[in-house]
Structure 1
Amino acid sequence: MNIDLSGKVALVTGSTEGIGFAIARGLHAAGAAVVVNGRTRQKVDAAVARLGDRARGQAIDLATSEGCAALIGAEPAPDIVVSNLGIFQPLDFFETDDAVWDRHWQVNVMAGVRLARAYLPRMADKAWGRFIFLGSESAFNIPAEMIHYGVSKTADVALARGLAKRMAGTGVTVNSVLPGPTFSEGVAEMLKDRVTAERSLEEAGIDFVKTHRPTSILQRPATVEEVANMVVYVASKQASATTGAALRVDGGVVDFIV
Structure 2
Amino acid sequence: MLIDLTDKTAIVTGSTGGIGFAIAQGLAASGATVIINGRTQTSVDNALKQLKTALPEASVRGVAADLSTAEGLATLQAAEPKADILVNNLGIYGQQDFFETSDEVWQQFFDVNVLSGVRVARAYTPAMVEKGWGRVVFISSESGLNIPADMIHYGFTKSANLSIARGLAKRLAGTGVTVNAVLPGPTLSAGVGEMLKPIADKKNISLQQAGDEFVRAKRPSSIIQRIASSEEVANMVVYTCSHQASATTGAALRVEGGIVDSIG
TM-score range, shorter chain: over 0.9
The reply to whether residue 70 of structure 1 matches residue 79 of structure 2 is no
Measure the CA separation in 1 of the matches of 2:112 and 2:61: 22
Question: Tell me, which stretches of 5 or more residues in structure 1 are unaligned?
Answer: none
Measure the CA separation in 1 of the matches of 2:198 and 2:229: 20
Measure the CA separation in 1 of the matches of 2:137 and 2:183: 11
Measure the CA separation in 2 of the matches of 1:46 and 1:191: 23
Which ranges of 4 or more aligned residues in structure 1 deviate by more than 4 Å?
none
The reply to whether residue 122 of structure 1 matches residue 123 of structure 2 is no
1:39-58 aligned within 5 A: 39-52=39-52, 53-58=58-63
Compute the RMSD of aligned alpha carbons: 0.9
TM-score (norm: length of structure 1)? 0.98
TM-score (norm: length of structure 2)? 0.96
Counterpart in the other structure of 1:86: 91
Q: What letter is aligned with 1:168?
A: A
The reply to whether residue 194 of structure 1 matches residue 199 of structure 2 is yes
Superposed CA deviations along residues 142-175 of structure 1, whole A, max 9, x for unmatched, are 0111100000000001100000000001000000
Question: Tell me, which stretches of 5 or more residues in structure 2 are unaligned?
Answer: 53-57
The reply to whether residue 17 of structure 1 matches residue 17 of structure 2 is yes
Q: What letter is aligned with 1:211?
A: A
Q: What letter is aligned with 2:20?
A: G
Bigger drift between 24-33 and 64-73 goes to: 64-73
Secondary structure of 2:150's aligned partner: helix
Counterpart in the other structure of 2:239: 233
Count of matched residue pairs: 258
Measure the CA separation in 2 of the matches of 1:201 and 1:187: 9
Measure the CA separation in 2 of the matches of 1:161 and 1:190: 32
Measure the CA separation in 2 of the matches of 1:237 and 1:126: 15
Counterpart in the other structure of 2:253: 247
Q: What letter is aligned with 1:228?
A: A
Superposed CA deviations along residues 171-199 of structure 1, whole A, max 9, x for unmatched, are 00000000000000111122233122523
Q: What letter is aligned with 2:127?
A: R
Sequence identity percentage:
62
Deviation of 1:203 after TM superposition, in Å, equals 1.6
Q: What letter is aligned with 2:161?
A: D
Measure the CA separation in 1 of the matches of 2:78 and 2:41: 18
Superposed CA deviations along residues 85-139 of structure 1, whole A, max 9, x for unmatched, are 0000111111110111111000000000001111111100000000000000000
Q: What letter is aligned with 1:16?
A: T
Counterpart in the other structure of 1:4: 4
The reply to whether residue 167 of structure 1 matches residue 175 of structure 2 is no
Secondary structure of 1:154's aligned partner: helix
Q: What letter is aligned with 2:237?
A: V
Deviation of 1:69 after TM superposition, in Å, equals 2.0
1:134-213 aligned within 5 A: 134-195=139-200, 196-213=202-219
Measure the CA separation in 1 of the matches of 2:194 and 2:69: 25
Measure the CA separation in 1 of the matches of 2:205 and 2:48: 34
Counterpart in the other structure of 1:218: 224
